[in-house]
Amino acid sequence: MDLLNKIEQDYKEALRERNESKVSVLRMIKSALKNMEIEKGESITENEAINVLQKQAKQRRDSIDQYRAGGREDLAKIEENELVEIEVYLPKKMNRDEVEEKVEAVIKKLEATSMQQMGQVIKEVICITGNQTDGQTVAEIVRSKLA
């Protein structure tokens, strides 16, 4: 079952179960996906759907940090619950050690030795890992390896 169908099925199931929080998150996800479809003017691919979900997850992480900094733990908890629901639909992330292995392999392949080549290394690692890691983690690791 592809991602879009799974989201639709889970939405219908959450409606039947009267699970208000899950319905709310899935409604938000469906809305974001529909907006992307409208922007594009045609159906979106699974990779594009994953990118939309990653944006939504990143927004939640940023909100959690901001709410915690502002002392609003109640709102941070709500965002955390939404983030958990979103992450169900995202591909499994690589752990930091796996990303480091990929970075080291790319640095060796490109024979990168300076920070000037950081962009090339990051671009290559992200191409290899796809949606299994985020750019920020890759950038941190590359920076530490090339520094």
pLDDT confidence of residue 82: 93
pLDDT confidence of residue 74: 94
Q: Which helix (H) or strand (E) holds 108?
A: helix 96-110
Instruction: Please give the model's pTM, rounded to 2 decimal places.
Output: 0.71
pLDDT confidence of residue 1: 52
pLDDT confidence of residue 3: 86
Give the range among 60-69, 70-79, 118-127 with minimum mean pLDDT. Answer: 118-127
Query: Could you tell me which residues come within 8 angstroms of residue 54 by beta carbon, excluding any fewer than 6 positions away?
Result: 90, 131, 134
Domains and CATH numbers, the chain: 3-87 (1.10.1510.10), 96-146 (1.10.10)
- Residue pLDDT, tens place only, 57-72: 999 999 999 999 999 9
Helix-then-strand count for the chain, H and E: 7, 0
pLDDT level of residue 11 (50, 70, 90 thresholds): very high
pLDDT confidence of residue 102: 87
